[in-house]
Amino acid sequence: MQVDIVCSCVVLNKKYRASFMVGMRLISLTSGASMAALALVLAVLPLSFPFPPVPYLRFDPAEIPVFIALLGFGPASGMLAAIIYYLALLAVGEFTPIGPTLKFLAVLSSVVGFWAGSRLLSSKGMASMVGAGVVVGIFLRVVVMTAANYVVLVAMFPEFLNFATATLSAFLGIRLTSDLQGLFLVLLFTAVYNILHMALSLIPTVVALNTVHKAKALGSVWVPWVVKASRPRDKS
């Protein structure tokens, strides 16, 4: 009799866990889609502002919902938000498909880099995990966007390089003597822009998630993915 009760409890526990995992996957997917929609709204609103050294580069808050999806609900949610946001930008964005594609590469490389970096130190606590994610995310974003901008400026639209070089020269108050010098400085300041943009996206994300979690605005059961992922694994 006791054996039957124990077996029944084990079966029920497995069913509960399976149902819970399905529910969490659905939450991850719906959260990613919702954050992508919010990102598109923020992208359409006149909230962006230029990066003064290279004015065609603009800071905008549209990446914040993608990072909320990542840190709040996990890498699958973050990647889904990035992909849906990209597809929407292809339909309504500016300078398509180049502009939306560059944005997608920036966001996706940040998400993948943060996720990969956070896995390296997930057992060391949340601060170390987030720090590693930020470092690897910034590194991957800078590498990917430097390569992408090189292709765009050199192979596809060299007139953009002329414009960027002229505005950067005026901003710095120097005379650039060669195209190679101009390209180097444009790519250097583009890297600076990407570092700043990721910081400007992550800081509000962490503040927002921390506020929601403490207020239990999504219920007492919900815990941000970044918090759960940094907890010691149960080895039993």
Give tens-digit pLDDT for 169-187.
999 999 988 889 999 999 9
pLDDT of residue 20: 44
pTM of the model: 0.87
Within-domain flag for 221: yes
Q: Using CA of residue 12, residue 17, residue 22, residue 23, what is the dihedral sign?
A: positive
User: So what's the pLDDT on residue 178?
Assistant: 87
Helix, strand, coil percentages (3-state) for the chain, rounded to 5, are 80, 5, 15
Contact criterion met (CB below 8 Å) for 94 and 130: no
Q: H or E stretch including 54?
A: strand 54-59
Cα distance between residue 69 and residue 108, in whole Å = 12
**Residue 74 φ/ψ region, left for φ over 0, alpha for ψ in the -120 to 50 degree band, beta for the rest:** left
Is residue 18 situated within a structural domain? no
Residue 27 has a pLDDT of 76
Evaluate whether residue 53 is within a structural domain.
yes
Write out the residue range of the structural domain in which residue 165 sits.
Answer: 31-229
Tell me if 151 is assigned to some domain.
Answer: yes
Residue 111 lies in a domain: yes
CATH code for the domain of 156? 1.10.1760.20
Which amino acid type is present at position 24? Answer: M
Total structural domains in the chain?
1
Peptide bond preceding 97 in cis form (omega within 30 of 0): yes
The predicted pLDDT at position 23 comes to: 56
pLDDT, one tens digit for every residue, the chain (236 residues) = 554 544 444 444 555 454 544 555 777 788 999 999 999 999 999 999 999 999 999 999 999 999 999 999 999 999 999 999 999 999 998 899 999 999 999 999 999 999 999 999 888 888 899 999 999 999 999 999 999 999 999 999 999 999 999 999 999 999 988 889 999 999 999 999 999 999 999 999 999 999 999 998 888 888 999 998 887 665 43
Strands 49-51 and 54-59: antiparallel
Domain-located, residue 2: no
12 found inside a domain: no
14 within some domain: no
